[in-house]
Amino acid sequence: MKTVAIAIALLLLFGAARLPYEIHLSKVQQADGFRTTNLNLPLREQVGQMGFVAALSGFRSLVAAFLWIEAHNAWMKVEWGRMAALLDTVTTLQPKSVLYWDMSAWHMAWNAALAAFQDPAQPSEVLRRRAQRQYWELGKKFYDDGLKANPDSAQLWERLGILDRDKFEDHAAAAQAFLTSATKPGARPYVRRMAAYELAKIPGREQEAYDLLKKLYDEGPDERKPALILALKQLEEKLGVPTDQRIKETK
């Protein structure tokens, strides 16, 4: 009994001694993007008791991987509602995975939206269009939430721009997303061109688009793609740029 009492006292003493270090380490880990997942009651309902226990026991990524495979199976069976719920759970479990956010948004905004628009069971085109738009919104939500967890992901900013451009036809939002992507580490070299093309479509922002395209053109032959030259020439015409300041390319 005496040994047990001494042992507990020693454990408590050790606990008290390591406490400041553990608090410090926990803060450092959180600042570095670790231990940020919120394992709360809604998640418990989403993943079930066993999944929640596994996630709590340090197997969060493993649970997410199995749920992703389930989501893939739901996709194969064209069960969009179930798939959306599974993707939501996966991204909650693994918020740092850019791939999960990107693929989830793509599945919703492209695959599920198209399926909803082509739904043979729904004769009303208005309702089909509404369902399609709801899936676009869901895809956008995945990108927005993904960017909250990974604000420096060039990939997510780029894909958000593509969604704004191709689905919502919101050129200002698309241009802004591409421009933000260009400032992030690992950005693709073409996103600045994509931003300029979008700016050129916005009435009143042609000068901004021209300046960006001209800057890219001046960077050298690698940037002088046919589409860029064509856009630049159209803007020169539209803005009335003096002949001596126009680019020399003939095509």
Give residues in contact with other proteins (CB under 8 A): 3-4, 6-8, 10-12, 14-16, 18-19, 21-23, 25-26, 28-29, 32-37, 53, 56-62, 64-65, 68-69, 72, 94-100, 103, 186, 188, 190
Q: CA of 109: how far to CAs of 64, 106, 141, 166, 175, in Å? A: 21, 5, 10, 10, 19
Nearer to other proteins, 34 or 237 (CB): 34
CB of 10 to other proteins, least distance (A): 6
CB of 242 to other proteins, least distance (A): 33
Nearer to other proteins, 56 or 230 (CB): 56
Radius of gyration of the chain (CA): 25
Q: Scanning the structure block, which residue is given the tokens 């992030």?
A: 184
Nearer to other proteins, 34 or 172 (CB): 34
Nearer to other proteins, 65 or 202 (CB): 65
Dig out the tokens for 241 from the structure.
């740029």
Rounded Cα distance, 174 and 177, in Å: 5
CB of 4 to other proteins, least distance (A): 8
How would you class 70 by CB atoms within 10 Å of its CB: exposed for 0-12, middle for 13-18, buried for 19 or more? Answer: middle
CB of 57 to other proteins, least distance (A): 5
Dig out the tokens for 152 from the structure.
């420096």
CB of 122 to other proteins, least distance (A): 30
